[in-house]
A and B are shown apart, each in its own frame.
Chain A
């Protein structure tokens, strides 16, 4: 079972996700809500990497499947605010309006072009949905991890990932999310989710992932 065997779904992110969830829950041990990636014991280097094999992190595995959907294909989120989203009253009013049951449903990852950290329209749209969810769940804190493809040097990519994460954080803060509820980190090129060493795989690995803390 390799990631590439999972059917690609262009426009139906949810379908892909639920397929991945089924895979994860049927084949692995854990399917809790933890978003933390714990480093697993050393695996056989030569073993093919199955999505369900990454027992450490259901979230990551799920995202790996989701990433078969090209970067620009996620559906537009519902309009959540017509006025000034940074307005505290609006933000409060939106709380009960968030149409997303989970952060993952709002869209966990935004994607970046090569060596860039500015936000695409697509990324802004996903972040806007994330903001709605975060504001609707006042007790929650999030961690945004910036990721890079393998086509850069290690230390530079750590720096670039930090920029991607903070670009996402700044946008969320601009939508009225309390910055104290957002932590950022960069994984550089150390935690790719797509194994493919080609342009498609690199595009998937250039992202910022918003994960639930606590």
Chain B
């Protein structure tokens, strides 16, 4: 608890919506002239060559470096090495020498600068279309000095959005389980970090094994289950206040919790005499309802973003498969039919896709399918992969991966197109990632 009280103020500071996107004070190019764009749907499209010069002013090179890392990790950009730059005398308010940038085949260029204005860090930047010789974006952000990384993420999101047409996902956090110790004596702590692995902090001390943490859609609360000798309990942590509360559920085993999209309830599974069913409990009224009544295992429920449907894992048909039902538990139907065992279904933020874990041929796989179970596609495979979670824009899936027998779990990402499989910048052992929405 002491660690918690030490860490939470910093966390609260980081999440408090103090960050201000001030104004779009700069000239916009008319859309007709903006030819430059990146397709996010074609997985094999050539990444766009983009140069991000070190920003001038406080944290300038760190901000530029974080932006470069973000864009490079997306797989959609080929981020140019600053050593290759021909022009060195960039100024945010002066048009660059486009010809110099064309020599290195750079298509997009970012120039920025930071300064301190009335005690706050203010960062402005422009995005240039090198071949169109025109400005695509000019923005300014301000926040506290210690929050400079969030500016880098906001800048990354703005560039990503301008060039791909989709909202970004860089200004977001990931809750996960930090693992340590041997396999037979595993310590599992609740941890939260920026999506790029920066600013990690621990929210539990490791006395209990923390499993499957998830954010609410508002990003202010985390729900997780904690395993102790005599049972497994569901907890909710409020990030703003630091309050940690056990959710009262009859019996000694409640697990697999997720918030409903409105953040008012949690759906989870609980054991009643060896029978595990899906339940929903209102955090406001305390009302508990049982949604499945089946002697088989029903677990890992997730409610669709529109609140109408719940997907869950069940072995009621003899093998482990993914099922869907209406929010009240009616209308149960099976979604997965092809070979293998399916579990941990999770809705995409738009509700159009479902990510899942599949066991097939002695391996584990991460895949996606349409909301009706069609168009199944495998994105990643290894000795163990499980627990997919969606980036807030639905483009990237993060999951836990053990590359081979006996390896430690680590966090990996893959594009929903199946390309750009890579390890998360968080390099220590970790599992059960839960991606937040983009921060306010």
Residues on A lying within 8 angstroms of B by beta carbon are 36-43, 45, 47, 49, 53-54, 56, 60, 64, 115, 143, 150-156, 158-160, 162-163, 165-167, 169-170, 183-188, 190-195, 197-198
Contact with A along B256-289 (1 / 0, CB 8 A): 1000000000000101011010000000000000
Structural contact, A37 and B229, CB atoms closer than 8 A: yes
Structural contact, B405 and A190, CB atoms closer than 8 A: no
**Among the interface residues A162, A187, A190, A193, which one has the most CB atoms of the partner chain B within 10 A?**
A162
Residues of A within 8 A of B271 (CB): 159, 162, 166, 186
Answer whether A42 and B181 are a contact pair too, CB < 8 Å, given A155-B343, A158-B232, A165-B274: yes
**Can you list 9 A-B contacts with CB-CB less than 8 angstroms, sorted by A residue number?**
A43-B180, A43-B182, A143-B230, A153-B300, A153-B359, A154-B211, A154-B432, A183-B252, A194-B184
Structural contact, A185 and B343, CB atoms closer than 8 A: no
Residues of B within 8 A of A198 (CB): 405
Interchain nearest-CB distance for B256 vs A (Å) = 4
Instruction: Please pick, from B212, B230, B274, the residue contacting A163 in the complex, using a CB distance under 8 A.
Output: B274
Answer whether A156 and B343 are a contact pair too, CB < 8 Å, given A40-B185, A166-B273: yes
B299 at the interface (CB under 8 A from A): yes
Closest to B432 in A: A154
CA of A115 to CA of B340 in the docked complex: distance in angstroms?
13
Q: Which one of B35-43, B110-118, B202-210 contacts A? A: B202-210
Answer whether A49 and B182 are a contact pair too, CB < 8 Å, given A42-B187, A158-B255, A166-B274: yes
B384 at the interface (CB under 8 A from A): yes
Residues of A within 8 A of B188 (CB): 190
Structural contact, B359 and A152, CB atoms closer than 8 A: yes
CA of A192 to CA of B181 in the docked complex: distance in angstroms?
13
CA of A45 to CA of B409 in the docked complex: distance in angstroms?
12
Instruction: Please pick, from B182, B227, B343, the residue contacting A153 in the complex, using a CB distance under 8 A.
Output: B343
8 tightest CB-CB pairs across the interface, nearest first? A166-B274, A197-B405, A49-B182, A159-B276, A155-B256, A197-B406, A159-B297, A162-B271
Instruction: Please pick, from B184, B206, B232, the residue contacting A186 in the complex, using a CB distance under 8 A.
Output: B232
B183 at the interface (CB under 8 A from A): yes
Residues of A within 8 A of B274 (CB): 162-163, 165-167, 169-170, 184
Interchain nearest-CB distance for A183 vs B (Å) = 7
Residues of B within 8 A of A143 (CB): 229-230
Structural contact, A193 and B180, CB atoms closer than 8 A: no
Interchain nearest-CB distance for A45 vs B (Å) = 6
Residues of A within 8 A of B201 (CB): none
Structural contact, B343 and A45, CB atoms closer than 8 A: no
CA of A60 to CA of B227 in the docked complex: distance in angstroms?
17
Answer whether A153 and B184 are a contact pair too, CB < 8 Å, given A158-B299, A186-B271, A195-B406: no
B386 at the interface (CB under 8 A from A): yes
Residues of B within 8 A of A185 (CB): 229-232, 252-253
Structural contact, B253 and A186, CB atoms closer than 8 A: yes
Instruction: Please pick, from B183, B211, B383, the residue contacting A49 in the complex, using a CB distance under 8 A.
Output: B183
Residues of A within 8 A of B344 (CB): 153-156
Residues of A within 8 A of B183 (CB): 49, 192, 195
Contact with A along B156-169 (1 / 0, CB 8 A): 00000000000000
B417 at the interface (CB under 8 A from A): no
Contact with A along B413-435 (1 / 0, CB 8 A): 00000000000000001011000
Interface residues of B in 272-328 (CB under 8 A from A): 273-274, 276, 297, 299-300, 313, 320
Interface residues of B in 208-225 (CB under 8 A from A): 208-209, 211-212
CA of A153 to CA of B364 in the docked complex: distance in angstroms?
9
B195 at the interface (CB under 8 A from A): no
Closest to B273 in A: A166
CA of A163 to CA of B277 in the docked complex: distance in angstroms?
12
CA of A198 to CA of B252 in the docked complex: distance in angstroms?
31
Residues of A within 8 A of B359 (CB): 151-153
